[in-house]
Each structure stands twice: as structure tokens, then as C-alpha cells.
Structure 1
Amino acid sequence: LKQYRYRYKIYIVEQADTMTVQAQNALLKTLEEPPAYAVFLLLAENQTAFLPTILSRTVLLHIRPLPDTMVADYLEKKKGLSPAESAVYAAYAQGSIGQALDLLEDESFQQMRQEILEKLMALPQAKKGEVFLWAKDLEKYKDDLRFLDMMQLWYRDLLYAKRLRSEKDLIQKDKKAEIFRSAVESEGELARKAALIQRARVQLARNANFRLTMEVMLLQLKEN
């Protein structure tokens, strides 16, 4: 179908790297002899998934993540968020305005974050039995490991608050009061706990038992 208003007609193929060999071969003829008015954008994360014949007929554009400050600025100007709110969503969006907008509309994300931060704040005073119950409760997030990002950002902010005693470099500025109140451990201890969360992430990537990994991680995070 030819364009009727603008000079070009743009076709966007999302997750193009998931196309089968047969699908790529079916698209090859179109890429070899495209209509003069057509532009094809093949969005992908894995360049190696394409056939060499596809790659030889395309121009590779490597899209880098945007700075968090740029994402936050967009959210403030276009969505009316406060600086504190925009900083939080920008941190979790990992350089993507589209991801930030999705998170803004995702009530489950907001509920997860509230729950995880409440657990982390209560963890130092929690009894061992409560910790095991929390590990069991986290199983509902087994397929959504964003909760580990939330944990790491929490300890990252605690470390900054402890070292700099300033809110300027905090990511979760909307929780600054809670962060400064919780930043009581040494810098070394806070860094160790952030590393524990990363270790748990690596173990889960290696198909470790989810419940057991969470139990060990939470118990170690509880230790002083």
C-alpha cells in the first residue's frame, strides 16, 4: 500500500530477532528490493540471531540508553511528576523513556516497590520465622525479578546517605527520610549487602532453587 500523505511509509518490526529462519527468508526479498517510499525498522536485542543475508542488507544502528537525567526531565515536563518521583522511575527505566512510561501506568510495579521497601525497612528487627515467611511470599515474584533491582537500589541509596550525608545523589528521593533513618550500618556492611543481592541474582540465573536462595539472602541481609 503506497503512502498518500508523507514521503515515506515506515514499517516497524518489534522483536525482529525472534523471527524464525523461514520468516527471515520470507522477508529477504522485500529487503533486497524495497519500494522507494518504504523504510523498515527491525528492532532487536540480539544481532547474532539474524541470518548473514539479512544483516548484509541492513544498516545497524546501536541505540544506547538515555541518561537518567534526560528521562527524569521528560517525565517532569510531559507527565507533571515531581523531581523525586521522576528520579525513581528514571532509575528503574534503565535509559528508556518508553519503559518509564510503562512503569508509570503499571500499578503492580508500584505495589511491588512499596512492599519490598517495607520489608527491607523491617528486616533488621524481624524474627527468623518472619524472614522465612517473607522468602515464601517472594515466590509470587519468581518470574519478575525487578524486586531484586529495588533491593539493590535501596542499599545503594543507604550507602550514599551514609557516605555523603546528602540527598543530592539519592535515587529514591521520595523515601529520603526512611533512607537516612535506616543508614546506620557501616559503608562496608552496606556494600556487602548490596553484593549479596547481586549474588542471589546470579544464582537464580543458574537455576538455583528460588525459595532457598531467597531464604539465604534475607537471613544474610538481616545480619549485622
Structure 2
Amino acid sequence: MKSLRIPENNIYNAYLIEGDDMELIKSSAIDFAEKLLIRDASDEDSEAVPIYMERGYESREEWEDSVRKRVSNNEHPDLMIIRPDKPEDNPTTVSVGNIRNNINGTVEVRPYEALYKIYLIEHAECMNQQAQNALLKTLEEPPQYVVIMLLASNSDAFLPTILSRVIEIKAGERDVKEVISDMLSEDWSKETVHFLSEIGFRNGKEILDFTDKITKEWKIPIGTFLSFIEIVLRDVLCYKSTSKIELIYGHEIAQDIIKMSTVMSYEKLGRATENIEKAFRDLPLNVNKEILIEDFLLKLRHN
């Protein structure tokens, strides 16, 4: 994965930081937040009283060290991190209450010590439509000191009205071979592709049971699951077109890839790909992710 740097010359009220490595984009967002939190009005206005003096620190270096330490410990009062909160046993949704309580209900309170008040929303693609509409109210007229960063793996999950009000920054993408290699190191991936290779012979109950396994036993993030299937379908199409096993990414699942290529026509592969794209678009609109996966698998069985 390439590194990610957020431009610091112009500061905007809202950003969408997109990438397939949440740890990378979160680290980059925290680094950016830290830089904002140590900004001082005296940097641009020589007559302004430096913040470190107002806060009782002996030097700017001592104040900056304090800021960095509190950011690292998630203790800075002007940095709020919002995470998926529903359902409680396996958080996969950023709820409307989460947005209302932690953002809408606090933005009017000015920063305690910094020039900016910063909100980071992890896995922001997990906001349902109600949560996005609630956030929109703040994005429409944010206080000047507010900076909101949406950290997400998929911009397609957001309403157009949200996208029109954020600055989009994309992280460099990981090599697909590296992505699928990481996925194939986990047991769920091999079992999933084997199930997909035989899905035409599976009945409705087996598909329901497998959906439960994905969401409740393995607890795979839906975006990760869909991304894996997207790569698998790419491999199926590649092998079907070339018959060259060396061109597919998932060498460890080659036999299942070959089996799928023999039973799926180009038309069926096209429909399956369209269904994947629809599932990605529907992510923010479906509170019940089990229904989304079940619907996709049933359509794939039909194909």
C-alpha cells in the first residue's frame, strides 16, 4: 500500500478519506489531526498570544509534546473518534443516534484548547441512510472550526448529497495479489469460494445457514466479503477467457475457480458482477446486512 498524505495548505470542513487499508487511512487521519491540533494562531498573526502560553506551558515544544501524547492515548478533548455501534454484539452499523449524539449535539461547542474541533468516523461506509442524513445537517453549515473526516473503504456507499460536500482523498490501492493473499490466509475465504463453486446445487436453507456463518460465526465485514467475491469473479472471467492458470490471483483456490468458469457463461458472470456492484451501492441502505448477503447468494445460485 502506498503512503497517504492529506494536504495541509487549505483546511476544509469535511473530508472523505478512502482506501482498502483502514489502519493506513486511520493513521494518516490521526497524523493530520495532530498537525491541526498543534496549529497556533500566532503562526499567522504575530500579535496573537501563543496557545501554549494561554495553556500554561513553558514552551511550545512542551505543549506540542502534550498534544501528541494525548492524541496517541485518545485523550485529547478536541478529537472525537466515532466507530460502528450497532448491533452491540457485532458492530457493523454507525447508527443515527451515534451521529446525533457525538457530532450534531456537540459541534456548537467550541474547541477546548485547539483552533480546530476534529471528528473521525471510522468505517464511515457503515453509516445507514438515516445516519448519513443526520450528518448532512452538520455538513451543510458546519462551524468554521469543525473538521470532519470520513474514513471509508468504499465511496459508493455514500449518498450523493454527502459526496457533494466533502473533499475526497484516495489512498494508493494495495496490489490485488497482496489483498487476496491476506484473505486466503483465513479459513473463511477458502470455504467461501468452495461454497460458491457449488452454489448451483445448494438449497435455500443451506444458503441461509451459510449467510449466518458469514455474519455471526466469522463476523466478516460485509465490504471485505464483497471485495473477496469481486476478485474471485475476476479470476473466473480471466481463466474462462484465457485458460491460463498463471494469470489468476488466487492460485490456492484454482480448482474452484476452474469449476466456476465451466458452469458460468459470460452473460452470467456479467450479471454476477452487476449484482456485486449493486450490493456495494446498497450497503448504506441496508441495516440488516444478512439480507444483503442472502439476496446476493440467491441471485448467484440462480446464475
The normalised TM-score by structure 1 is 0.57
User: Structure 1 pair 118/24, CA: closer, same or farther in 2 (3 Å)?
Assistant: same
CA displacement, residues 111-137 of structure 1 (integer Å, 9 cap, x when unaligned): 221232222123121112211222222
User: Structure 1 pair 129/169, CA: closer, same or farther in 2 (3 Å)?
Assistant: same
Partner of 2:221: 144
3-state SS of paired residue (1:28): coil
Q: Is the 8 A contact 1:116 1:150 kept in 2?
A: no
Partner of 1:166: 244
In structure 2, distance between residues paired with 1:24 and 1:186: 53
CA displacement, residues 130-175 of structure 1 (integer Å, 9 cap, x when unaligned): 1122222222366612111111111111111111111232111222
Cα offset for 1:180? Answer: 1.4
> In the alignment, which of 194, 198, 203 is matched to residue 273 of structure 2?
194
Gaps of 5+ in 2: 1-26, 44-49, 51-59, 62-119, 122-138, 148-168
Cα offset for 1:215? Answer: 1.8
Partner of 2:40: 29
> In the alignment, which of 175, 189, 192 is matched to residue 113 of structure 1?
189
**Percent identity over the alignment?**
17
Cα offset for 1:27? Answer: 0.6
> In the alignment, which of 296, 300, 303 is matched to residue 217 of structure 1?
296
Partner of 2:211: 135
3-state SS of paired residue (1:119): helix
In structure 2, distance between residues paired with 1:209 and 1:216: 11
One-letter identity of the residue aligned with 1:160: C
Partner of 2:199: 123
Q: Is the 8 A contact 2:286 2:292 kept in 1?
A: no
User: Structure 1 pair 30/157, CA: closer, same or farther in 2 (3 Å)?
Assistant: farther
CA displacement, residues 161-209 of structure 1 (integer Å, 9 cap, x when unaligned): 1111112321112222221122122112112112212211221222342
Cα offset for 1:217? Answer: 1.1
Q: Is the 8 A contact 2:239 2:248 kept in 1?
A: yes
Structure scoring higher RCO (CA < 8 A, sep ≥ 6) equals 2
In structure 2, distance between residues paired with 1:91 and 1:14: 20
The normalised TM-score by structure 2 is 0.43
CA displacement, residues 21-64 of structure 1 (integer Å, 9 cap, x when unaligned): xx7664113994988xxxxxxxx99xx99x89x9xxxxxxx886
